[in-house]
Structure 1
Amino acid sequence: MAYHRKLALVDDRTGLIVMASLFCLIQLLVITLRIYARRLRRMRYGTDDWLAIIAVVFVLGLNGVFLAGTIQGAITGHSQVVDDWPVTSPLEHLAQKYKYAFQTTEKITFGLIKLSILFLWKRMISPIRWFQVSCWVMIGVVIAWMIAFFFATVFQCYTQWAWNWAPISFFLTQCTNTLDMLTVFTATDIVTDVIIITMPVPIIWQLHLPTIKKVGLTGLFMMGLFTIGAGIARMYIYLVTSYDKEDNPDFIADFTLFMLWSAIEVNVGMIVCSMPVCAPVVSKFRDCIVIRLGSKGSSHLSHQRGKGSKEYLTDRSENPYFGDKTSSYEMGAYRTTIASREPMDEINVEGPLETRSGIVVRTRISNTFE
């Protein structure tokens, strides 16, 4: 099976060091915003939050492995190639060690991120029984997937631990068929991501929300497509470098490409995992900017309303995320009462409750993402 495609090499060591360092800072920022969002909405930490916190520790560990390997030259280095095959060298020995550490840790990391997203879906869309069952099924699949590939990687050379960083020719002949194992791993990683990311989409389009709101929520969930794209790129690179050694004999250069896209995928996945939870923080920041920019014209607006207008609007700027009172809007012969925002984190798909005096807004998804 030969693809006959020589891949471009990655030699910018400084650029990769900067990238890995930025990834570490971004992950710390994202998890901090997630914790702040829970405190902002006065919500207890759920299983999804604890899994995300554990996952970010593993993500930082992966970034650390990538950063250390780049600094020491194991990443962005090159193998000594003789007769279209890499020759054993101290650098190759070092690269094998980093590869084993990275590939072992990434199995747990990917699994934790997927589980965090599934438990988030489960908590948000709690009233729908079939969706809850689907979440539990996928949780079981992901746990089995994570454990199976973790132990398969740990014991890929049985209990001969030194074989894991032996010369590449010895490793490929004496250990298990790691090429096929990693092919199955990358393929199933993409499949599970597609299923998990698209699970809430049918629910969103059943909600009693404006179409523009549905499109926005769908777009938020579909941010996971960036993770899927990185996974596809990683799988393509792995297939080319693993099954076309004639055109890609530089083991260390191939290993660099594979780890690079794995690092991108896991960091983007961690960001996507926390984005729905961090939405209230973004909304509060947006509201603060709007309030500051509109403060100059607020007095003029109040003066206009005082000239006989029958529209009475309740100011929600003091506490845009919590409240114990309802806001009333009197416009002509109709009166609409909007229920106060509560610290909730689930989707109510029952839709609006119609009454003769107006409509009581009950769609809870807006409280989660606004």
Structure 2
Amino acid sequence: MAPMKPYYYMQPDNIIAAAVALSLLDIIVVALRFWTRKIQRQPPKADDWLMVPAALLTVGVAISQIYGVSKRSIGYRTDIPPGYTGSVDELVTPQITLKSQIEWAFFLMLPIALCCIKTSFLCFYRRVFSVQKRDTVDILLKGSIVFVVLWTIAFFFAVLFQCGTQFWAIWNSEAELKRRCTNTINMIITLCITDFITDLVIIIIPIPLVLRLNLNTTKKIGVCAMFLLGGGILVSSLVRFVLMAGSFMGGLNITDDNILGVSACLYWGMVECGVGVFAACLPTIQYLVRKFVFEPVVSSAKSIFSSRSSRHSSDFRRDGVHIEKTVDVSYKELKDDCLARPESSVIAERVTDHTYDVRDERVGAFV
């Protein structure tokens, strides 16, 4: 049987491209976030500072995957030594060892990076919605932060000591890992499920808080849309959960090679971290977009329409001068006829003449 063709997220070039792009993107948006605070003359708070370790850990995950690709331990099929006839699960090679080490380091960094991202969201909500300390909203957000921190600690140490103190078993053969360590598959599935649920809750939290604000419907929709921009992290965590759960527990067979399967898991974890940092910074840096992009465009549009309006107004005023001449001619004709009219008619015409004189003086003043 011919081997399965790897999907794009298992291919070396795509892994490197995603790693570089997400690293650069996160560094840029975090820098823009702090620049925004400087422009707003607001001191950076916890929600801002948490983005620094989140971005650094995302870059660390990306570097580890690039290194793994360069050593053919990520994004490539398992190399079977010539003449080997045993089970692939019993195989131990430098390629497999490095793959296992990168995977272990990844699952140590992943909970910490996700913790920083989730906690940043929650701290940002506290900055926006928590008016008074110890109110219902503040207690809810603080409780969520505590839960996320405990969740992170639990999974960090579960990964760290999955084989007790026999760390060498982690980057040994798959068979040795299964014999000496806890069920890592169940641990990964549990991590994916709880990660997705916490992301979903965090994305939903601001919706009822916005809906009860004293805003019109249009503004409420706009504010909700701004907070829902964080839904990108929800999509990536859902994809990773579906792939992992489908591969280990369901009938979804994404690959027939262990290294490619690990590459898929690492790829979507990296995407989740990268998109999470970007999404967490969007509500803050949208101020820059509004100030330096949207407002100048609106101002330019107003200036263009104002200039056109001025030209039309100028044409109208020139027409007013023409009316002055027409009225003046009419006045002279009336003056020639006034001898045949009663004096009251002459007075009426003089009043009319005076009225036009005042109007003509205004038109002349505009010109």
Do the two structures share a fold, i.e. TM-score over 0.5? Answer: yes
CA deviations over 1:87-143 (Å, ceiling 9, x no partner): 433211111011011111111100111111110001110226211110011011001
1:107 paired residue number: 111
1:98 paired residue number: 102
The code of the aligned residue for 2:62 comes to N
| 1:140 partnered with 2:146 | yes
Q: What is the rounded CA distance, in whole Å, between the counterparts of 1:134 and 1:162 in structure 2? A: 42
> Residues 240-255 of structure 1 correspond to what in structure 2 (within 5 A)?
240-243=246-249, 248-255=255-262
2:170 paired residue number: 164
Q: What is the rounded CA distance, in whole Å, between the counterparts of 2:281 and 2:252 in structure 1? A: 42
The code of the aligned residue for 1:73 comes to R
Structure number with greater Rg is 2
Checking the alignment, whether the CA contact within 8 Å between 1:84 and 1:246 is kept in structure 2 is no
1:66 paired residue number: 65
More helix by share: 2
1:265 paired residue number: 272
1:182 paired residue number: 188
Matched positions, count: 301
1:216 paired residue number: 222
Identity over aligned pairs, percent: 26
Checking the alignment, whether the CA contact within 8 Å between 2:18 and 2:271 is kept in structure 1 is no
CA deviations over 1:291-327 (Å, ceiling 9, x no partner): 2344333345578999xxxxxxxxxxxxxxxxxxxxx
Checking the alignment, whether the CA contact within 8 Å between 1:190 and 1:228 is kept in structure 2 is yes
CA deviations over 1:19-39 (Å, ceiling 9, x no partner): 211111111111111011111
TM-aligned CA distance change 1:120 to 1:126, over 3 Å = same
Equivalent of 1:296, from 288, 304, 314? 304
Q: Secondary structure at the match of 2:170?
A: helix
1:56 paired residue number: 55
TM-aligned CA distance change 1:301 to 1:132, over 3 Å = farther
2:213 paired residue number: 207
TM-aligned CA distance change 1:298 to 1:67, over 3 Å = farther
Instruction: Specify every segment of 5 or more residues in structure 2 that has no aligned partner in the other structure, as ranges.
Output: 315-367
The code of the aligned residue for 1:292 comes to S
Larger displacement relative to structure 2 (130-139 or 164-173): 164-173
Q: Secondary structure at the match of 1:165?
A: coil
Q: Secondary structure at the match of 2:231?
A: helix
Instruction: Specify every segment of 5 or more residues in structure 1 that has no aligned partner in the other structure, as ranges.
Output: 1-5, 307-370
Superposed CA RMSD: 2.5
CA deviations over 1:28-53 (Å, ceiling 9, x no partner): 11111101111111101111111112
> Residues 1-370 of structure 1 correspond to what in structure 2 (within 5 A)?
8-10=6-8, 11-80=10-79, 85-86=88-89, 87-127=91-131, 129-243=135-249, 248-284=255-291, 285-300=293-308
1:328 paired residue number: none
Return the offset for 1:231.
1.0
TM-score, normalising length: structure 2: 0.76
Q: What is the rounded CA distance, in whole Å, between the counterparts of 1:76 and 1:201 in structure 2? A: 40
TM-score, normalising length: structure 1: 0.75
